[in-house]
Chain A
Amino acid sequence: MHIPDGFIDGKTAATTAALSAIGVGMALRQVKRELPPRKIPLLGLAAAFLFVAQMVNFPVAGGTSGHLIGGVLVAALLGPSAAVVVVTTVLIVQCLLFADGGVTALGANIFNMAIIDSVGGYAMYRLICRCIGGNGGRVTAIAFAGWFSVVLAAISCAGQLAWSGTVGWAAGFPAMAAVHMLIGIGEGLIGALVFLAIQRTRPDLISDAAQVQKPEGWGELARYGLLATLGAAIFVAPFACPWPDGLERLAQKLGFAGKAAKHLFPALAPDYQTPGVHWAEGATALAGVVGALVVFVLAWLLGRLLVPANREES
């Protein structure tokens, strides 16, 4: 998902760079405030770990292979702000040293993978942890949040490419979303297995992480959420959202309905049979929701299946 140079035009590069600078600045301040000095070298080592873990390929169905992105895993282990710093570091080194991901696209890549992926996924992780308690809940949360984060990042990436005029939204969005809905399954599964394996060998590392995740962490998440929403409003909403069109439609309907108020309900029903474009959008949304539900059930089963065997350690 590393966007190379040339795929993003000036305005997109400048906007994403500004958003990422704000996000990374927030993360650095938060890390300085709450991370004990003892843990500072861990940031660098976690970044090196993530880089190496991303190079180890795992098999995906059909003979292809994928690799871990790991934002959610790091966020669950070290906290969201630390994860932003760690993933940003990985991206900077990949860009400057290995030419993986463009220099002008660095802002966009940081926004997608360090902020949207890690923090968005982490918010989902916390939400599920709250809803399903216990260790099984945590495993479910990591698995689903891993999948969710990859899909979110892919959608944001598709939005930036479309805003730059490189790959049209109509072609880019379904391709990116569909491919990453598959890749995300691997991400979720690996994330959950790695989390369990760490818990087996060094449970103290996980409980350290739990101490960082204080309840007031939600305010921190809200700030990132604001930033992510701003980004989404800029490069995803213009394409994804049929609002201007929809509002016009609604106004027409209301105008029509106002004239013939008695026929409101009978008149609305045939109107729902909108032209094919809207059907296609509805179908895409429906496919997304169904996909998410299926993955959630799989994640939940994973949590149920894997955890009883490990209950004595937890």
Chain B
Amino acid sequence: MSSRWLNHHHAPPLSAMHRLPAALKLGLGFAIIVGTVLAPARWTGWYAGVLALLIVAWAMSRIPAMFLMKRVLALSPFVLGVTLVNALQTSHRGQGLVVGAKSALCLLTVILVSNTTPFSQILRVLKKVRVPGLLITTIALMHRYLFVLGDEASRMHRARLSRTFTSAHRVRWQAFATVVSQLFVRASERAERIYDAMCARGWK
């Protein structure tokens, strides 16, 4: 069970980057990403400019460099893989590098924005741009209980480790399925309790 996804960086809470309005950060981030994806390969000025802007944003955000590096490395196997495949085909080498550079810049943008903007503010911006309400409710509930269920899964994992020490494949598959099914059962039981609680607080 890898919980690296759940480690989000939210301290220190009030860097200059954190204080910027969420709509501005998201809008600018989106513009940078779309621009970078659409920019032709020969616009090196654009890429350099985006990189400079991202470095300034990173300096303002006070996110530790190691944290940023780890996140980028954790996410890039696919990018590296495709870049390598393209690099092997001599005709595509330059293109592979461009694709790699583009996705690295976009990745950095998303990581910087998402780690300096509280999720509730992201949701508010989504609501403002008319994302349907049911989807927003679902996203909000998912985000709220993601970490709860994540903890629950790692507790079950620890419990299983402490009870069994075989690692026969058949048993492992079976154990995995049991953990996942228990997770679903617990999630749906929790959903029922949440519905009752929401009704009690006047939700409709």
B73-104 Cβ-contact flags toward A at 8 Å (1 or 0):
00100110010011001001001000111110
Contact of B149 among A9, A52, A166 (CB under 8 A): A52
CB distance A190 to B180 under 8 Å? yes
CB distance A59 to B181 under 8 Å? no
CB distance A4 to B141 under 8 Å? no
CB distance B142 to A48 under 8 Å? yes
Contact of A44 among B38, B100, B142 (CB under 8 A): B142
Contact of B184 among A37, A41, A49, A88 (CB under 8 A): A49
B172-189 Cβ-contact flags toward A at 8 Å (1 or 0):
111011111111110110
Residues of B within 8 A of A104 (CB): 33-34, 37, 106
Interface size on B, residues (CB 8 A): 77
List CB contacts (< 8 Å) of A1-42 with chain B: 2, 4-10, 13, 24-25, 28, 31-32, 37-42
- Complex CA distance for A41 and B33, rounded to whole angstroms: 33
Contact A55-B3, Cβ < 8 Å, known A47-B138, A93-B139, A193-B174: yes
Q: Is B145 part of the binding interface, using a Cβ–Cβ cutoff of 8 Å?
A: yes
Q: How far is the CB of B120 from chain A (nearest CB, A)?
A: 12
CB distance A93 to B173 under 8 Å? no
List CB contacts (< 8 Å) of A91-115 with chain B: 92-93, 95-100, 102-104
A181-223 Cβ-contact flags toward B at 8 Å (1 or 0):
0000000011001111110011001000000000000000000
CB distance B114 to A96 under 8 Å? yes
Contact A5-B194, Cβ < 8 Å, known A68-B180, A89-B135: no
- Complex CA distance for A88 and B134, rounded to whole angstroms: 12
Q: Is A241 part of the binding interface, using a Cβ–Cβ cutoff of 8 Å?
A: no
- Complex CA distance for A201 and B172, rounded to whole angstroms: 19
A45-57 Cβ-contact flags toward B at 8 Å (1 or 0):
1111101110111
- Complex CA distance for A194 and B2, rounded to whole angstroms: 20
- Complex CA distance for A295 and B38, rounded to whole angstroms: 41
Residues of B within 8 A of A93 (CB): 139, 142-143, 146
- Complex CA distance for A99 and B204, rounded to whole angstroms: 33
Q: Is B190 part of the binding interface, using a Cβ–Cβ cutoff of 8 Å?
A: yes
CB distance B132 to A52 under 8 Å? no
Most chain B CB inside 10 Å of its own CB: which residue of A2, A43, A95: A43
Contact A198-B184, Cβ < 8 Å, known A6-B37, A45-B191, A52-B150: yes
CB distance B173 to A5 under 8 Å? no
B160-177 Cβ-contact flags toward A at 8 Å (1 or 0):
000000000100111011
Q: Is A77 part of the binding interface, using a Cβ–Cβ cutoff of 8 Å?
A: yes
CB distance A4 to B106 under 8 Å? yes
CB distance B119 to A48 under 8 Å? no
Q: How far is the CB of B180 from chain A (nearest CB, A)?
A: 5
Contact A202-B153, Cβ < 8 Å, known A43-B138, A55-B5, A190-B180: no
Give chain A's interface secondary structure class.
helix
Q: Is A307 part of the binding interface, using a Cβ–Cβ cutoff of 8 Å?
A: no
- Complex CA distance for A167 and B101, rounded to whole angstroms: 16
Q: How far is the CB of B192 from chain A (nearest CB, A)?
A: 7
Q: Is A86 part of the binding interface, using a Cβ–Cβ cutoff of 8 Å?
A: yes
- Complex CA distance for A203 and B124, rounded to whole angstroms: 38
- Complex CA distance for A294 and B101, rounded to whole angstroms: 41
Q: Is B71 part of the binding interface, using a Cβ–Cβ cutoff of 8 Å?
A: yes
CB distance A44 to B153 under 8 Å? no
7 CB contacts below 8 A, A to B, read: A6-B102, A10-B38, A48-B143, A51-B149, A103-B29, A104-B33, A193-B177
Binding site for B on A (CB under 8 A): 2, 4-10, 13, 24-25, 28, 31-32, 37-49, 51-53, 55-59, 68, 77, 85-86, 88-90, 92-93, 95-100, 102-104, 165-168, 171, 175, 189-190, 193-198, 201-202, 205
Binding site for A on B (CB under 8 A): 1-3, 5, 8, 29-30, 33-34, 36-38, 71, 75, 78-79, 82, 85-86, 89, 92, 95, 99-103, 105-107, 110-111, 114, 119, 122, 132, 134-135, 137-146, 148-150, 152-153, 157, 169, 172-174, 176-185, 187-188, 190-192, 194-195, 198, 204
Q: A2-B78, A48-B145, A55-B2 are in contact. List 11 more A-B contacts (CB 8 A).
A: A42-B191, A44-B140, A49-B149, A51-B149, A68-B180, A88-B135, A89-B139, A89-B142, A102-B106, A103-B29, A198-B184
